[in-house]
Amino acid sequence: MTVDLRDELFGGRRERDAPRTTEARNAREVATLAAARIGRPSGWWGMLMLIASETVLMGSLIATYWYLRLRATHWPPPGIPEPRVVVPMVLAGVLLTTSVPMQLASRALRAGRLRAGRLLLLAALTVQTGYLVYEIRDYASELGRFSIRHDAYTSIYYTLLGADHGHVALGILFNAWLLLKLARGLTMYRLNAAVAITWYWHFANILTVIVIGVLTSVNVV
């Protein structure tokens, strides 16, 4: 008895008729196979699970911030200056714009345009790295004025902001790794990685805007 297996990533065609991703070893072959695929790669689903778990984690930290905020008489406590608003929000906005070259890079690689994909990734990585370097210096400067153990405000402030910086740093590592891989050429596996990493950056950029918005909203309530 022969079992007729179907490959859902390729529209339910017979599994033996569906092209194998391992067969794509250059940009032209990747573009051909990517055009034939109508489903999501497994890497995309894996990244979706990571984003979901990190959303729960960061959501818990944001909820903790607001729980402490709504129970406090003064926020921040006396003696601690209110956080800056303009510069952090502008920088978060600049970081958010890197979703554009990330998405364009993903599309370029899907079309087999390796050089364009590399340049777009490099442009995004440059802005992302500049943002993180500035933020780390600013974070260290603030720690020098007020310890994370000073009170509840500083504890949740540094924890929430530090967690967000950690997500940006992880994304930078993803991009650096991907660029190193693409230096050796384009394969279907590297295209799948680019798609997954692009979605991670959409999440990280939106998360940064939300976190900065929360931390600078001291006068909302």
64-116, pLDDT tens digit by residue?
999 999 998 889 988 888 888 999 999 999 999 999 999 999 999 999 999 99
Tokens at residue 27, please?
Answer: 């940009």
Q: Which residue has the higher pLDDT, 80 or 21?
A: 80
Give the start-end residues of each E strand in the chain. 6-7, 13-14
Read off the pLDDT band of 12 (50, 70, 90).
low
Where is pLDDT greater, at 135 or 20?
Answer: 135
Q: And the tokens for 109?
A: 């690689």
Q: Helix, strand, coil shares of the chain as percentages rounded to 5?
A: 75, 0, 25
Domain borders along the chain are: 34-74+83-215
- For residue 8, pLDDT beyond 80: no
Report the DSSP beta bridge partners of residue 14: 6
CB 51 within 8 A of CB 199: yes
DSSP state of 68: H
Residues 6+ apart with CB under 8 A from 205: 95, 96, 98, 99
Candidate CATH numbers 1.20.120.80, 3.40.50.360, 2.60.40.10, 3.60.21.10; the one for domain 34-74+83-215: 1.20.120.80
Helix axis angle, 27-36 to 99-110, nearest 10°: 100
Average pLDDT value for residue range 180-208: 94
pTM: 0.85
